[in-house]
Amino acid sequence: MLFFYEDGKFIDRAVWENGRYSPTPTIIEAAIALYSGHSVSEISRSDASAINLSKTSDEIAAIIQNSRNKKHK
């Protein structure tokens, strides 16, 4: 069986099978990596303003909705 990229280029099976596997970390793994060297008080402190958090949340919600609409990850 032959496999092709969306642009029509052939996928070399041997290169694919011997390639490096790098899964995206889970949210828990990412949080552990980000906060492993911090104390509880440092983690609970928020330096971002309410306006910045609101803008960020709105943008993330828009990205999620767009991804759902287009069936993209």
1 confidence band (pLDDT: 50, 70, 90): low
Residue 22 neighbours by CB under 8 Å, 6+ apart:
none
Does 5 map to a domain? no
Using a cut of 0.95, tell me whether the model's pTM lies above it: no
Look at residue 28 and tell me if it is in a domain: yes
- What is the extent of the structural domain holding 22? 13-70
Question: Which of 27, 60, 31, 54 has its CA nearest to residue 43?
Answer: 31
* Within a domain: 55: yes
Residue 64 located in a structural domain? yes
Average pLDDT in the chain: 81
Question: Could you give phi then psi for residue 24, rounded to 5 degrees?
Answer: -70, 135
Paired tokens of 72: 């993209």
* Number of domains composing the chain: 1
pLDDT in tens, 22-44: 788 888 888 888 888 877 776 66
DSSP letter string, 17-72: HTSPP-PPPPHHHHHHHHHTTS-HHHHH---S-HHHHHHHHHHHHHHHHHHHHHT-
